[in-house]
Amino acid sequence: MIKIKSLHKRYPGMHAVKGINLNIKSGEFFALLGPNGAGKTSIIGMLTGLTTISEGSIKVDSHIAGSEEAKKKIGFVPQEFNMDIFETAYNVLHYNAQYFNVEKHVERVNLLLTELGLYEHRNKKVKELSGGMKRKLMIARALLHDPEIIILDEPTAGIDVESRKFIWKYFREANKNGKTILLTTHYIEEAEQLCNRVGILHKGELLAIENVKDLMLKYNMQKVTLDFKTKKDAVQFAGDKYTVNNKSVTVPGERFTKILDEFTTEKIVQVHTHDKSLEEIFLEMIQ
Amino acid sequence: MNGYKPIVEREVKRILRIWKQTLLPPLFTTMLYTIVFGFSLQRSISDISGFSYIQFTLPGLIVMSVIMTAFSQSCSTIFIQKFHGNIQEILVSPIKPFTFVLAHISASIFRGGIIAVILAIFGFAAIGLPLQHIFFATMSILLSITLFSVLGIYTALWARSFDHLQVFQNFLITPLSFLGGVFYSVSTLPQPYLTLSQFNPIFYIVDSFRYGLLGIQEAKPIISLIILTTLCIVGISHVTYLVRIGYKTKH
């Protein structure tokens, strides 16, 4: 569905994207993870036609990214609010639906306003809407032409928990209904909850592209937390190698058996295992 | 022409919603000019080609007002869209660059047209302004709005701050207007200013519009329209190209 080949983006004095290759299949929920400046927004910009490509290519089905045909297939929710703040919520959708030549656009606008809980606020100016409502309005705007691909650039940044959960549920449902979704996010939990595959991006390079579950297995992500009787015991055990958290010390799963051989278990009250989060994997990889 | 109607609809509603900012100032300013330059000065200035000074001046004042309006219409709305970021709505949509340009020219025609009609009616009623050649009067106004609307689009694309918007207005449009024969007959100028005036597009706009109303001219009216049409075609083509490549709108 989306084919990115040897993609480069150069700004004056900066090489933001360095030869990315990436294929996203139809129906996938794919996340691009990376810290600020990793190149996520540049890639999305080139995909949507907002940014020029320095080298390489992006194809949306068989269409070159930025072409009219490619644009018709994409619905884009940007990171920054980018609406006419003096227009009403209804008018923002009313005009944008016509930019995409949406048939029966009045019905479509009203349907999306209702689905996203904005119908009662349709006559309010954008500047009068809360952050969560503005974000939902941008989502409605991106969905007006019923695109096959939805691109979400930090869709839940700066909004309340309730709105975030609503948006997660909404896109999980959209993905079940066949939409291909490309997400960039700082909330790694978001990628873990929603996505099939993730791409780890750092300083313009793609460090890994993995299925979320495979990534966790591949990096042997199980951890063991040992609860000690006293903090002194925990500190003695941890030495310089591990960090003590109150009376507990967490160690990598693969070290656990060796640790038990080296250290008396009498001072340990409880042992519990848990998986490393995607966030921890991500931090390890970019370090 | 996908996208033409919503852009024009949005702009027309905006023009009418904030009419105190979009329509009233140019009308007020031109009427003020008419009083100051016309009624007060005409006693000390003799008739020009059989018309009173106020009758001679008003077509130029209407043109000045209309081109300023056309320029600020396209310039301000596109720059504000860049400023708020909602120009991205256009950039990610399948709207053709030519449609975008044409829609903004149409909105300028709407706003400039209202100014031109009201001021012309004021001229007919208040100072007995004649209407000799409606075709030339209409065409010169339409072409001048188109040309300066295109210039407004250029400026909006190029500008990075509100200060930049003033550059074209203060250092190009205003001087060219004053040197384009609004307040005097260009033929009275000494050389080399007479020759230089032939390179000023505002001279052709003022002259052909004055011919449309008063029936007097300094250049051949049809040549003026051909020059203006050529400038419009070149301007539209180039600005459409700039929109297509994302000049200062795409990173």
Question: Which range is most confident: A150-159, B187-196, B240-249?
Answer: B240-249
Q: Which of B4, B92, B244, B247 to mutate to test the interface with A (most CBs of A within 10 A)?
A: B92
pLDDT at B40 over 60: yes
pLDDT at A220 over 60: no
Domain-embedded: residue B55? yes
Report d(CA A97, CA A109) in Å as an integer: 8
Name the band, by pLDDT with cuts 50, 70 and 90, for residue A212.
Answer: confident
Enclosing domain of residue B151: 4-36+49-245
What residues does each domain of chain A span? Answer: 2-217, 220-286
pLDDT value at residue B144: 97
Of the listed ranges A60-69, A91-100, A188-197, the one predicted with least confidence: A188-197
Q: B100 or A262, which is more confident? A: B100
pLDDT at A34 over 80: yes
Domain-embedded: residue B169? yes
Joined tokens for residue B212: 């449309």
Share of chain A above pLDDT 90, in %: 53
Amino acid, single-letter form, for residue A218: K
Query: Nearest chain B Cα to A102, which residue?
Result: B2
A11 with B84: Cβ contact below 8 A: no
pLDDT value at residue B143: 97
Contacts of B246 in chain A (CB under 8 A): 52
Return the closest-CA partner of residue B94 out of A40, A93, A101, A110.
A101
**Chain-wide mean pLDDT for chain A?**
87
Burial degree of B239 (CB within 10 A; 0-12, 13-18, 19+): buried
Architecture of the domain made up of A2-217: 3-Layer(aba) Sandwich (3.40)
pLDDT value at residue B50: 86
Amino acid, single-letter form, for residue A199: G
Name the band, by pLDDT with cuts 50, 70 and 90, for residue A221.
Answer: low
Say yes or no: A14 contacts chain B, CB-CB below 8 A.
no
Amino acid, single-letter form, for residue A145: H
Amino acid, single-letter form, for residue B136: F
Residue A227, classed as helix, strand or coil, is strand
Q: A108 or A268, which is more confident? A: A108
pLDDT value at residue A182: 95
pLDDT value at residue A222: 67
Return the closest-CA partner of residue A126 out of A141, A114, A111.
A141
Task: Give the phi and the psi of residue A37 in degrees, each rounded to 5.
Answer: 85, 10
Q: Helices in A130-277 by DSSP H: which ranges?
A: 131-143, 161-176, 188-194, 212-218, 231-238, 256-262
B88 with A95: Cβ contact below 8 A: no
Architecture of the domain made up of A220-286: 2-Layer Sandwich (3.30)
Residue A33, classed as helix, strand or coil, is strand
| CA angle A33–A37–A39, rounded 5-degree value | 60
B250 with A68: Cβ contact below 8 A: no
Report d(CA A280, CA B12) in Å as an integer: 54
Report d(CA B171, CA A98) in Å as an integer: 38
Q: Helices in chain A by DSSP H: which ranges?
A: 40-48, 68-73, 89-99, 105-115, 131-143, 161-176, 188-194, 212-218, 231-238, 256-262, 278-286
Report d(CA A124, CA A92) in Å as an integer: 11
Joined tokens for residue A101: 């030549």
Residue A83, classed as helix, strand or coil, is coil
Q: Which of A95, A101, A105, A134 to mutate to test the interface with B (most CBs of B within 10 A)?
A: A95
Domain-embedded: residue B250? no
Length in residues, chain B: 251
A84 with B86: Cβ contact below 8 A: yes
Joined tokens for residue A167: 């948006």
Joined tokens for residue B72: 């600020």
Order of strands across the sheet that contains A63-64: A14-24, A2-11, A55-60, A63-64
Q: Which of A84, A87, A109, A127 to mutate to test the interface with B (most CBs of B within 10 A)?
A: A84
Contact A62, A213 (CB under 8 A): no
How many domains, in total, are found in chain B?
1
First to last CA, chain B: 26
Give the H/E segment covering residue A79.
none
Joined tokens for residue A157: 């940044």
Return the closest-CA partner of residue A98 out of B243, B89, B62.
B89
Task: Give the phi and the psi of residue B69 in degrees, each rounded to 5.
Answer: -65, -45
